[in-house]
Chains A and B, each alone.
Chain A
Amino acid sequence: MATASRPRDTPLAVLVLPSLLMFVTFAVVPLFGVVVLSFTKWDGIGAILPNGLGSWQQVLADPQTWRSLWLTLLTMVITWAVQTPLSILLGTFIAGHQRYRAVLAVLYFLPLLLSSAALAIAFKALFDPNFGLGAGLHIPLLSQDWLGVQLAFPVVLAVIAWQFIPFHTLLYQGGVRQIPVQLYEAAQIDGAGRFQQFLRITLPQLKYTIITSSTLMLVGSLTYFDLVFVMTEGGPGNATRILALDMYIRGFKANQMGAASVIAVFLVVLGLGMALGVQRLGGRDKNASQLEGL
């Protein structure tokens, strides 16, 4: 075996070069740049001045940083807790081959086709307290100040869920369809009901899909930006100023690239840690196959 693979070593290294080059240029080098910038003071147009730990001290002492971090963690937890169960249920539902389910599946996927910016503008118009849906239809219940101080954060999270649940549903649909039918047939013979089948077969078999989907959700919620930016710009006040927005506002509105880079480093470390942690959760036992007969 070892000798057979040797002649392929060189061409493989060459094949990997283009993507490696892209990765280094657009991911590793900028990452290094951000780390360097976090130890400097730069307003975006003048000279870049070394600042030691100044930017770090400034950011760590700023209550806004911790507030933003807290909002981001809340976003992460709520996003996961709301989207995962709904996506699994929807995914299992549309994995069935009945025709009406296929029709519903198409409808469920519609939000996936819309760009975040367009979506945010549309929702912002619908939520407008004076010209929005509630005021237009004269329904007092809908005429809340949806993007006001109290409700803005939960409303933004709801719109994010509306946008991303279809994507995760798609993942789970694929996962469910890969579960061998024989498992369900055997369970039926043993007298398991539908709920039992879902609990004992579908959920355990979806383990790796859940890990993939959770990684995407957790890491993704660190970088939510476009939707929140267009809908609220982090406001009112700082009610929806999550970490990614905080970074943008510090860097491109307040022109403090050093402080913004510190937040960027935060985000990178958090994201990598999160991704690693979730993968670990899945266990590393490569022999624990999920497929029958293997």
Chain B
Amino acid sequence: MTQLSGVTRRGFLVAGAGLAAASVVGCSSTSTTAAASGGTTAGKATMWGLSGKPNEQILTDCVAAFNKLGKGTVDVTFFQNDAYKQKIRTAVGAGEAPTLIYGWGGGILKGYADAGQVLDLTDWVKGHAAWKATFFDSPWGAGTINGKIFGVPTNNTQPIVMYYNKKLFDQVGASLPTTWDDVMNLVSTFNSKGIAPFSLGGGSKWTSMMWLEYLFDRIGGPEVFNNIYAGKKGSWGDPSALKAYKMVQDLVDAGGFIKGFMSITADSNADQALLYTGKAAMMLHGGWAYGGMKSAQADFVKNNLAFGGFPSISGGKGDAKNVVGNPANYWSISAKASAAEQAVAKAWLVDGMFTDTVVDAFIASGGVPVVKSAQTKIASSADKDFLTFVFNLATAAPNFQQSWDQALSATQAEALLNNISQLFSKQIGPDQFASNMNATL
């Protein structure tokens, strides 16, 4: 079997229609050559990160500072977000992964763990209790698979929040919504004044998913998705879930989202632009959108941006303090790396990843890094209103639901995104959505 799989896998990689195959060949050099010479004196680890401001610069500086400590060398290469997601998977499958594997935890990390491609860090983390205590607790969950730690939290915590254009609210004389009824009233108010109520980059699909995530929680509480995550039969057809699908389509019917939202994509930040150019009054988006809007329109963020949690729904079971989003990003260590490479990677996690300088840099960029020391530093930051809001939201949440497309397996996530897109464009109704998704359980 191993013989067969070796041959066909190679055959397939060549077959990859020039897509992934080329990229694997293009980047396969590092870890194998290093492994061959591993075990000698100067340890060296490889790392792939995501390109783009501001995190690329922060990680570059962080690694450079670590390399001067004499605890080994980390070599970092950057890739664009979507390209990285494909590349890392193919590389891990081919046994050519970098020592430090960046990811989002949840279903994909579980896939790596099941295939024995990433290191079980449980005992090692236990041995570094003081270091572990510097993080807040909520992000560790999505890096833990079946009670074992495979991913160490990194970067910022990114709950999904409501953003508002205060200027437009003043213009129509309305106040910020706190309940779903407020939301529906605002939709008709803004529409009657010719302003689009909500901006949404529906073409990106995960953007629409954020709405369902919150509606599920507010209507039925965290159990509704927990049942789905546990694979309980028929759980996408839960009465609370069906109600959420219907509310989404009611909102679409009421003109809640800007015209043409199904062809707007988030990767160009066009959805954020709609909010700060005053074409739309409200937007549900990840915490990272603050930094994006700040670099695009600093004046707007300073004077006209308001933010808040997702509104409550009367009669709903979910705690209005619950949040959804990305608890953190994660670093895992490749099981295929040599002992020397793994040792350097671990040294970097402890001594390099969250130095004071790095924490300061994350805060300066408008993020809340997942360490406790962030709290005091935030208070003196230029963005202290937003950062304090995010910090309190993330640390006070009774339940921090990881984004569904990260939590589920890739197969389920793809079906989910495809069906959500059809639900929002009204190609299918609530019942059809439920039965399509139940088929994936």
Residues of A within 8 A of B (CB): 25-26, 29-34, 36-37, 40, 42-48, 124, 127-131, 145-149, 152, 232-233, 235-239, 248-250, 252-257, 261, 264
Q: Is the interface of B mostly helix, strand, loop or mixed?
A: helix
Q: Give chain B residues whose Cβ lies under 8 Å from the Cβ of A40.
A: 8
Chain A CB within 10 Å, residue with most, of B8, B14, B258: B8
How many Å lie between the Cα of A254 and that of B414 in the bound state? 5
Among candidates A31, A47, A127, residue contacting B15 with C-beta atoms closer than 8 Å: A31
Sorted from nearest, which 7 A-B pairs have the closest CB atoms? A33-B11, A129-B260, A30-B15, A147-B263, A254-B414, A237-B422, A236-B262
Stretch of B36-44, B108-116, B185-193 at the chain-chain interface: B108-116
User: Contact: B5 with A47, CB < 8 Å?
Assistant: yes
Question: Are B203 and A255 in touch, CB under 8 angstroms?
Answer: no
Task: Verify if B411 is at the interface (C-beta below 8 Å from A).
Answer: yes
Q: Any chain A CB within 8 A of the CB of B259?
A: yes
CB contacts (< 8 Å) of A29 on chain B: these are 11, 14
Interfacial residues of chain B within 1-38, with CB under 8 A of chain A in the complex? 1, 4-5, 8-12, 14-15, 17, 19-20
Whether the pair B8, A37 counts as a contact (CB closer than 8 A) is yes
Which chain A residue lies CB-closest to B90?
A44
Q: Which of A32, A34, A146, A255 contacts B411 (CB 8 A)?
A: A255
* B92: Cβ under 8 A from any A Cβ: yes
Return the chain B residue nearest A125 by Cβ: B268
Determine the distance from Cα of A44 to Cα of B259 in the docked complex, in whole angstroms: 39
14 contacts between A and B (CB under 8 A): A29-B11, A47-B115, A48-B9, A131-B273, A148-B260, A149-B425, A235-B203, A238-B418, A238-B427, A239-B425, A252-B86, A254-B411, A255-B111, A261-B12
The digit string for B272-299, where 1 denotes a CB below 8 A from any CB of A, is 0110000100000000000000000000
| Pairwise interchain contact A236-B12, C-beta atoms closer than 8 A | no
Given A45-B117, A148-B263, 13 additional A-B pairs, CB 8 A:
A33-B14, A33-B15, A37-B12, A43-B411, A129-B260, A129-B263, A130-B258, A130-B270, A149-B427, A236-B421, A237-B422, A238-B421, A249-B418
Q: Which residues of B contact A (CB under 8 A)?
A: 1, 4-5, 8-12, 14-15, 17, 19-20, 86, 89-90, 92-93, 111-112, 114-115, 117, 202-203, 205, 258-260, 262-265, 270, 273-274, 279, 409-411, 413-415, 418, 421-422, 425, 427-428
Whether A236 and B111, one on each chain, are in contact in the complex, defined by CB atoms closer than 8 angstroms, is no
Per the bound structure, the CA–CA distance linking A235 and B307 in Å amounts to 30
Q: Is B418 touching A237 in the complex (CB atoms < 8 A)? A: yes
Q: Point out the residues of chain B lying under 8 angstroms from A146, CB to CB.
A: 263
User: Roughly how many angstroms separate A230 CA and B19 CA in the complex, as a whole number?
Assistant: 14
Give chain B residues whose Cβ lies under 8 Å from the Cβ of A36.
8, 11
Which B-chain residue is minimally distant from A128 (CB atoms)?
A: B270
Complex contacts, A32 vs chain B, CB 8 Å: 11
Cβ-closest chain B residue relative to A151: B263
The answer to whether B263 touches A48 (Cβ under 8 A) is no
Minimum distance in angstroms from B103 CB to a CB of chain A = 12
Q: Are A255 and B14 in contact (CB under 8 A)?
A: no
**Do the beta carbons of B422 and A252 come within 8 Å of each other?**
no
Task: Say yes or no: B410 contacts A236, CB within 8 Å.
Answer: no
User: CA A237 – CA B424 in complex, angstroms?
Assistant: 8
User: Chain B contacts of A47 at CB under 8 A?
Assistant: 1, 5, 115
B263 touches A127 (CB 8 A): yes
- Give the residues in chain B near A45, CB-CB below 8 Å: 89, 92-93, 111-112, 115, 117
Q: CA A232 – CA B11 in complex, angstroms?
A: 30
Per the bound structure, the CA–CA distance linking A254 and B115 in Å amounts to 17
Across the interface, which residues of B come within 8 angstroms of A46, CB to CB? 111, 114-115
- Give every chain B residue within 8 A of A236 (Cβ-Cβ): 202-203, 262-263, 421, 425
Contact B19–A233 (Cβ < 8 Å):
no
Least distance between B126 CB and chain A CB atoms (Å): 27
Query: Nearest residue in B to A46 (C-beta to C-beta)?
Result: B115
- Tell me, in angstroms, the Cα distance from A37 to B8 when the chains sit together: 7
Contact status of A145 and B259, CB under 8 A, knowing A45-B111, A131-B273, A237-B418? yes
Inter-chain CA distance A167–B125, complex, in Å, is 61
Which B residues are CB-close (under 8 A) to A131? Answer: 270, 273
User: When A48-B5, A256-B411 are in contact, do A237 and B421 touch as well, CB less than 8 Å?
Assistant: yes
Residues of the A chain whose Cβ atoms lie less than 8 Å from the Cβ of B262: 145, 147-149, 235-237
Complex Cα spacing A158 to B92, Å: 39
- Known: A40-B8, A45-B92, A148-B262. Is A237-B270 also a contact (CB below 8 A)? no
B8 and A235 within 8 A (CB): no
Q: Which residue of B lies closest to A47 (CB)?
A: B5
CB-nearest residue of chain A to B439: A62
Name the B residues within 8 Å of A130 (CB-CB). 258-260, 264, 270, 274, 279
Q: Which one of A26, A33, A36, A237 has the greatest number of beta carbons of chain B within 10 Å? A: A237
Q: Most A CB atoms within 10 A — which of B270, B413, B428?
A: B270
Q: In the complex, A130→B259 CA distance in Å? A: 8
* Chain B residues with CB below 8 A from A237, complex form: 262, 418, 421-422, 425, 427-428
Q: Give chain A nearest CB distance to B199 CB in angstroms.
A: 9
Alpha-carbon separation in the docked complex, A239 to B297 (Å):
35
Instruction: Kindly list chain B residues whose C-beta atoms are within 8 Å of the C-beta of A232.
Output: 203, 263
Assess the A257–B11 pair: CB atoms within 8 A.
Answer: no
Contact of A253 among B1, B92, B414 (CB under 8 A): B414
Q: List residues of chain B with CB within 8 A of the CB of A233.
A: 203
Bound CA span A36–B11, Å: 9
- Expressed in whole angstroms, the minimum distance between the Cβ of A256 and any Cβ of chain B is 6
How far does the alpha carbon of A30 sit from the alpha carbon of B220 in the complex, in Å? 49
A37-B12, A46-B115, A237-B418 given as contacts; is B427 within 8 A of A129 (CB)? no
Q: Which residue on A lies nearest to B258, using beta carbons? A: A130
Q: A130-B270, A249-B414, A254-B415 are in contact. Are A152 and B93 (CB under 8 A)?
A: no
Closest to A63 in B: B436
Q: Which residues of A contact B115 (CB under 8 A)?
A: 43, 45-47
User: Please, which residue of chain B has its CB at the minimum distance from the CB of A30?
Assistant: B15
* A257–B263 alpha-carbon span in the complex (Å): 29
Q: In the complex the two chains form, what is the Cα distance from A39 to B258 in whole Å? A: 45
B19 partner residues in chain A, CB cutoff 8 A:
248, 252
Residues of chain A lying within 8 A (CB to CB) of residue B4: 48
**Contact B15–A34 (Cβ < 8 Å):** yes
The smallest beta-carbon distance between A156 and chain B, in angstroms, is 11
Given contacts A232-B203, A235-B205, A236-B425, contact A129 B264 (CB under 8 A): yes
- Chain B residue numbers with a CB within 8 Å of A254 are 410-411, 413-415
A43 to B274, CA, bound (A): 38
Residue contact A129 to B259, C-beta cutoff 8 Å: yes
A283→B412 CA distance, assembly (Å): 49
* Best-surrounded residue of A34, A232, A253 (most CB of chain B within 10 A): A253
